[in-house]
């Protein structure tokens, strides 16, 4: 854009992008700390922000027990319970202390389990949004957080209610006065029947309805959770009808699990940058025409934050690198 004296002013930003943290408190804290560590101006958390596992902590006569990651854990004090719940939260697990009768009631009522699970999910997102505001509100860092296909709809109002965190889902937003970003957490169909899945035709319409509102596509960013199909960043293990990973001759069989609609849109509009996730195993960077597409991957259960760092200036990605820490 032009400033005083007709001088051309080109916005330059350092973007740090992560995805698929799945409820890991440790990964989220690392995400916030990355602003200072990498000197990033823009933080983007793109999709699948909530966890998949809820673990009851059962109290019996002052002793607490839980089953976590294949191990039976016994705790003999509230301090040990606190430490266990903290470590579980760092791996993305939600915990809830119950008595044996309460556990029996939950086991007998799947609807109550879902209600409790949703409550814990929403509470953690609320905690994250508050933490982001506490850590970053007095800085110049801009923070964008959006849901993915695994995230329940109840998190949307929490993200939208923040005075600091921007919820960019299904919108066009300017991240620095020049670079526009469209965001979509909804994906094509998966074997898991997650909360936000649609047919490819619907996905294509959602993407195009936002893309048509972008003023300058050459400097635009497509923050689309599902990666483009038939690329190095959309390769996932094939599963059978019982959701078991298919292995032949001792090797895991891989398949393209990305989206045709996403690929078609990128090739049609040719934005500057594509930010993707969804498939944890397919960490990488590829080019589709002029568009640089990245999937940082995910190792959230280990507390490892996989990221993508890029310097963007005008309509160019000046530098890009995959990070881990």
* Residues 161 and 177 grouped into a single domain: yes
Please report, to the nearest 10 degrees, the dihedral formed by the alpha carbons of residues 67, 72, 78, 82 taken in order. -60
In the beta sheet, which residues pair with residue 290? none
Question: Which CB contacts under 8 angstroms, 24+ apart, belong to 247-252?
Answer: none
Q: How large is the average pLDDT for residues 96-104?
A: 97
pLDDT score recorded for residue 7: 46
Question: What's the whole-number average pLDDT of the chain?
Answer: 95
8-state DSSP, 300: G
Number of H helices, E strands in the chain: 7, 19
Tens digit of pLDDT for each residue in 130-177?
A: 999 999 999 999 999 999 999 999 999 999 999 899 999 999 999 998
* Residues 33 and 68 grouped into a single domain: no
* Residues 216 and 276 grouped into a single domain: yes
pLDDT score recorded for residue 11: 80
In the beta sheet, which residues pair with residue 323? 307
Tens digit of pLDDT for each residue in 175-234?
A: 998 999 999 999 999 999 999 999 999 999 999 999 999 999 999 999 999 999 999 999
pLDDT at 5 over 90: no
Tens digit of pLDDT for each residue in 13-66?
A: 999 999 999 999 999 999 999 999 999 999 999 999 999 999 999 999 999 999
pLDDT score recorded for residue 32: 98
pLDDT score recorded for residue 242: 84
Q: Is residue 2 domain-resident?
A: no
* Residues 209 and 273 grouped into a single domain: yes
Kindly indicate the confidence band of residue 1, based on its pLDDT and cuts at 50, 70 and 90. very low
* Residues 161 and 245 grouped into a single domain: yes
pLDDT at 6 over 60: no
Tens digit of pLDDT for each residue in 265-322?
A: 999 999 999 999 999 999 999 999 999 999 999 999 999 999 999 999 999 999 999 9
Nearest residue to 268 (alpha-carbon basis) of 237, 291, 248: 291
Output the domain CATH number for residue 294.
3.60.21.10
Strands, DSSP E only, in 31-92? 42-46, 53-60, 63-68, 71-75
In the chain, the number of structural domains is 2
Rounded CA Rg of the chain: 21
Q: How large is the average pLDDT for residues 224-252?
A: 93
Output the domain CATH number for residue 103.
3.30.420
Among 96, 113, 130, give the residue marking a domain's end.
Answer: 113
Question: Which CB contacts under 8 angstroms, 24+ apart, belong to 188-194?
Answer: 188/226, 188/259, 188/260, 188/261, 190/149, 190/257, 191/239, 191/243, 192/150, 192/243, 194/149, 194/150
Domain that holds residue 71: 54-113
To which residue do tokens 């109002």 refer? 157
Q: Is residue 136 domain-resident?
A: yes
Q: Is residue 4 domain-resident?
A: no
Q: Is residue 3 domain-resident?
A: no
* Residues 90 and 236 grouped into a single domain: no
Q: Is residue 71 domain-resident?
A: yes
* Residues 27 and 90 grouped into a single domain: no
* Residues 287 and 156 grouped into a single domain: yes
Cα–Cα distance for residue pair 26/312, rounded to 1 Å = 28
Cα–Cα distance for residue pair 3/29, rounded to 1 Å = 37
In the beta sheet, which residues pair with residue 228? 259
Q: Is residue 149 domain-resident?
A: yes
pTM over cut 0.85: yes
Q: Is residue 96 domain-resident?
A: yes
pLDDT score recorded for residue 54: 97
Cα–Cα distance for residue pair 109/98, rounded to 1 Å = 15
* Residues 136 and 182 grouped into a single domain: yes
For 183, residues 6+ apart whose C-beta sits below 8 A from its C-beta are 46, 144, 146, 168, 169, 170, 171, 173, 210, 223, 224
CA distances (Å), origin 269, targets 38, 216, 218, 265, 289 = 30, 10, 9, 6, 10
pLDDT score recorded for residue 243: 83
To which residue do tokens 């209600």 refer? 115
């Amino acid at each position: 854009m032009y400033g005083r004296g007709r001088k051309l002013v080109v916005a330059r930003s350092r973007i740090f992008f992560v995805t698929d943290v799945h409820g890991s408190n440790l990964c989220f804290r690392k995400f916030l700390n990355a602003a200072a560590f990498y000197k990033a101006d823009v933080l983007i958390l793109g999709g699948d922000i909530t966890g998949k596992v809820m673990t009851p902590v059962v109290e019996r006569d002052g002793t607490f027990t839980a089953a976590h990651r294949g191990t039976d854990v016994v705790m003999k004090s509230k301090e040990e319970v606190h430490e266990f719940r903290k470590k579980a939260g760092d791996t993305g697990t939600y915990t809830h202390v119950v008595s044996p009768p309460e556990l029996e009631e939950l086991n007998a009522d799947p609807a109550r389990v879902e209600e409790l699970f949703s409550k814990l999910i929403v509470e953690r997102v609320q905690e994250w949004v508050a933490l982001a505001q506490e850590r970053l509100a007095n800085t110049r860092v801009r923070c964008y957080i959006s849901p993915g296909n695994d995230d329940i709809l109840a998190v949307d109002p929490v993200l939208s209610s923040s005075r600091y965190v921007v919820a960019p889902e299904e919108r066009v937003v300017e991240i620095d006065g020049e670079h526009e970003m469209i965001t979509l957490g909804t994906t094509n169909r998966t074997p898991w029947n997650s909360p936000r899945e649609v047919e490819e035709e619907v996905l294509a319409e959602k993407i195009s309805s936002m893309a048509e509102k972008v003023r300058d596509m050459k400097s635009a960013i497509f923050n689309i959770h599902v990666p483009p199909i038939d690329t190095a960043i959309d390769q996932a293990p094939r599963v059978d009808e019982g959701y078991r990973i298919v292995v032949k001759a001792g090797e895991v069989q891989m398949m393209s699990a990305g989206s045709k609609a996403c690929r078609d849109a990128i090739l049609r509009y040719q934005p500057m940058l594509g930010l993707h996730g969804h498939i944890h195993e397919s960490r990488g960077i590829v080019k589709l025409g002029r568009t640089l597409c990245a999937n940082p991957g995910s190792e959230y259960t280990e507390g490892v934050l996989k990221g993508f760092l890029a310097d963007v200036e005008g309509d160019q990605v000046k530098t890009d690198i995959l990070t881990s820490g």
